[in-house]
Structure 1
Amino acid sequence: MTNVNHMPMTEALLSGASPEVLASTPLPTEYTAAHLRVEDENIFGDETDRDVRRTLHVGQVPMPELAPDEVLVAVMASSINYNTVWSATFLPLSTFGFLKATARRGGWDTRHDQPFHVLGSDAAGQIVRVGSGVRRWQVGDHVMVSAACVDDQEPAAQADGMLSEYQLAWGFETNYGGLAHYTVVRASQLIPKPGHLTWEEAATVPACAGTAYRMLVSDRGARMKQGDVVLIWGASGGLGAYAVQMVKNGGGIAVGVVGSAEKMAAARALGCDLVINRDEIGIGSAGADPDQVIAQGKRLGKLIRQGVGEDPHIVFDHVGRATFGISLFVVRRGGSVVTCGSSTGYQHQFDNRYLWMRLKRIVGSHVANLQEQVECARLFTLGQVMPALSALYPLEQVGEATRLVQLNEHIGKVGVLCMAPEPGLGVTDPGLRARIGEEALNPLRAFAPAPVLAGQR
């Protein structure tokens, strides 16, 4: 029998070793991670299709030293976010520039400037080391990781961490992200993992569910109330899947816009009251043409009124250039467009008359502060919001997983198993899981595109 005091860390974790054993088990000097290499920055040249599979490498990177306010998490599972697509295509900017900017702050931040960039802004796993200044967390704790890396000593962060001047997107603007066997995070990024969720389910929660919570529910977002009609672009995607559930859980009326019949079925499975296929009615591609934007907005508004009886109070927009002008037009007088991103382009054009003369609001939102993340996670524990996991890939196939998102061929969240050897692990509250039910917990598993990880239901 192997002496637990001398077993490798991976073996100790997967065998359920005690916190004391984990704390005394040596760490590897290198670990497996999905990463970019600085020499690939100009690999695409003028190519139109920047295939992320060409730049995403899976291999060994050196283990960094921990700062006093950081923890080292053994990542059991992660998931793909669109910022990994941006990183792997080096658009709109190379994230190696972000790492250099972070390093210029000096001190511990100099570690981030490396010739490699470990990606990933989601993770669920187990703490294996804590820095000397960490108070509320211990080795062995099961956690999820928020993508918002903030300076919690900055005055503005005491009001709202997302207002921190030095707020960074972990795994995008920082190194040592979550698509790896280990990740380095600040203690102020940690969220208790709901005990009824598997590692891969939990890993889909913080970045997208937390973002949707802040956009819709938080008083810093659109301030959704009962009965509000909410138009959700991309209602079957990662962000959209959680937005639909937040709307329904809060007593709202969810109107989803998607791009295929299969995605329409997925949006209905999530609870959408009305689902519209943008391709069938020719909306969402107008870009900068003002006349087309207005015409498409009128068509969309008519369909929404026919379906639910009134114009939307809120539009949930993360698509950007292709939809923003329509969003601003279609939201009702006095309504709000809340935005957290621009996957189709950052340069938005809209007819300002419909903003100022109809007293509409544009609300910018970015990830979520720690309190919002904890409140969001509580909704999962209450069984009111479910994981949006569909497809699941091993870390070795992270390129294929990210390519799926790059081509918008995914539904919900695409998960990645990191240190966990198989799906279904990490549940510490099987009673709660049984009460909620496997079918309820996995509303999008039926929509997983092939190929997926062997053994997934």
Structure 2
Amino acid sequence: MDTLAEAVIAGAPPEELLSIPLPDRFLAAHLRAGDAGMFEGETDKDVRRSLHVGAVGMPVLAPDEVVVAVMASSINYNTVWSAMFEPISTFDSLRRYARQGGYATRHDLPYQVVGSDAAGVVVRVGDGVRHWNVGDHVMISPAYVDDQDPRGHADAMMGPYGRAWGYETNFGGLAHYTVVRATQLVPKPAHLTWEEAASITLCAGTAYRMLVSEAGARIKQGDIVLIWGATGGLGGYAVQMVKNGGGVAVGVVSSEAKAHILREQGCDVIIDRREIGMGDGDSAGDAIEYGKRLGRRIRAELGEDPHVAFDYVGRATFGTSVHVVRRGGAVVTCGSSTGYQHEYDNRYLWMNLKRIIGSHIANLQEQWETSRLFRQGGLVPILTDVFPLADTAEALRLVQENRHVGKVGVLALAPHEGTGVTDPDLRARIGEDRITAWRAYATTTARV
């Protein structure tokens, strides 16, 4: 471990951090451009073969950027896509980005440091950074946007140059250090540990935009919200947000074990997808039949159809979502972990005046609002498993095979779990048992 990292871990003051030079190289989980075709023709695209943990070079800092010493990160499904080189190699995205010129050229390298979540300590700030200082404790939003493009000023996510950090950019969060734009920074909630804070921004911020924001479904009290994959990273936060907003959460899961988790977490209605026979087909006709069965099941419990379907699963569920929401209802979608090509019967959309809302990450204000809900205790982390950086490939495989629930964390510079809390009184007021409730659902015995 380098001298600067040791000082960060020891809690050194800002002036000491500034006096220690950045290391030339640092440890990072990364992909190699030369591996991009390695899975062609293979059925099991085992990400443990493509993800490497080793030394990479420290990039040059742009004026609007900061260097963050990463204390912890977490796994998202976009890193699974990157490591499978699907639907395209992310090295193609990096090459296109580099063609913009200037500092963007740094991102076109024979390797990509991946990871779209992180929490850590600011150790350098660019000359153009105004609101952040060395020593600040931060979380990192994955929304990598152009704050000088006028089209993004009403909503940064509408800017045409927006990218997903650590997926469509280099220098992601599964590393000892990362370089990010100042517009990605959010204050770390002082009552959370590093690994808890590192499990928030991508999934909780995305769920907030999908459900609460004016850009999403704008749920209100009493709204019935169907949540697919309700024990996953996105789904777990969606259940909390629906409940906090006075809505009725209908969680769909794939096993009795996951149904048990939702019961303990207070989900209003819990449906095992096997009850309605899902999984035998994914055509538009199959989706209608599943939708009929699901609708009957929800009406039997609640007497009415859902206002909103929260769908990030994609091909396997999207047609059913379109069918099952009520007249005038909405399907809000942010991803497609089971496939991007969706098939649905459009009659049920247009004739019943339903809406499909596309959503992607969250803008900075939405991220700050989400963080505020954690500080108030309205939201709690859904962190389950935690791995050391050296075992990132195993953590990624766990997510690839959907053997996890909640969020899977990765410790970077943090020496062990439980560090980073600077407001223990707030943690005590919210409740240790409540904050760590999801740790009981760890799917491995891995502990750091």
Question: So what's the TM-score if we normalise by structure 1?
Answer: 0.97
Deviation of residue 44 (structure 1)? 1.3
Residue in structure 1 matching 2:314, options 312, 320, 328: 320
Q: Paired residue for 1:4?
A: none
Residue in structure 2 matching 1:408, options 402, 406, 410: 402
Contact 1:233-1:319 at 8 Å conserved across structures = yes
SS at match of 1:272: coil
SS at match of 2:54: strand
Residue in structure 2 matching 1:432, options 426, 432, 436: 426
- Assess, with a 3 A threshold, how the Cα gap between structure 1 residues 451 and 43 changes in structure 2: closer, same or farther: farther
Please say if 1:251 is aligned against 2:246: yes
1:304-453 to structure 2, matched below 5 A, reads 304-453=298-447
Residue in structure 2 matching 1:130, options 125, 147, 158: 125
SS at match of 2:226: strand
1:115-264 to structure 2, matched below 5 A, reads 115-264=110-259
Contact 1:79-1:123 at 8 Å conserved across structures = yes
- Assess, with a 3 A threshold, how the Cα gap between structure 1 residues 443 and 284 changes in structure 2: closer, same or farther: farther
SS at match of 2:31: strand
Bigger mean CA offset, 89-98 vs 277-286? 277-286
Residue in structure 1 matching 2:27, options 32, 38, 41: 32
Q: Paired residue for 1:65?
A: 60
- Assess, with a 3 A threshold, how the Cα gap between structure 1 residues 285 and 405 changes in structure 2: closer, same or farther: farther
Deviations, residues 32-76 of structure 1 (Å, cap 9, x unaligned): 000001111111120011000000000000000100000000000
Deviation of residue 309 (structure 1)? 2.1
**Percent identity of paired positions between Structure 1 and Structure 2:** 65
**Counterpart code for 1:85:** V
Contact 1:241-1:270 at 8 Å conserved across structures = no
Divergent runs of 4+, >3 A: none
- Assess, with a 3 A threshold, how the Cα gap between structure 1 residues 383 and 34 changes in structure 2: closer, same or farther: same
Q: Paired residue for 1:104?
A: 99
Q: Paired residue for 1:3?
A: none
Deviation of residue 310 (structure 1)? 1.3
Deviation of residue 280 (structure 1)? 3.6
SS at match of 1:440: helix
Deviation of residue 209 (structure 1)? 0.1
Please say if 1:114 is aligned against 2:109: yes
Give me the CA root mean square deviation. Answer: 0.9
Q: Paired residue for 1:303?
A: 297
Deviation of residue 23 (structure 1)? 1.0
Find the aligned partners of 1:50 and 1:307 in 2 and give their Cα distance.
41
Deviations, residues 18-38 of structure 1 (Å, cap 9, x unaligned): 011111111110000000011
Deviation of residue 328 (structure 1)? 0.2
Q: Tell me, which stretches of 5 or more residues in structure 2 are unaligned?
A: none
Q: Paired residue for 1:294?
A: 288
SS at match of 2:21: coil
Please say if 1:45 is aligned against 2:28: no
Deviation of residue 322 (structure 1)? 0.6
- Assess, with a 3 A threshold, how the Cα gap between structure 1 residues 395 and 285 changes in structure 2: closer, same or farther: farther
How many residue pairs get matched? 447
Q: Tell me, which stretches of 5 or more residues in structure 1 are unaligned?
A: 1-6
- Assess, with a 3 A threshold, how the Cα gap between structure 1 residues 432 and 88 changes in structure 2: closer, same or farther: same
Find the aligned partners of 2:335 and 2:398 in 1 and give their Cα distance.
19
Find the aligned partners of 1:217 and 1:346 in 2 and give their Cα distance.
24
Deviation of residue 433 (structure 1)? 0.2
Deviation of residue 298 (structure 1)? 0.6
Find the aligned partners of 1:300 and 1:147 in 2 and give their Cα distance.
34
Contact 1:214-1:221 at 8 Å conserved across structures = yes
Bigger mean CA offset, 172-181 vs 265-274? 265-274
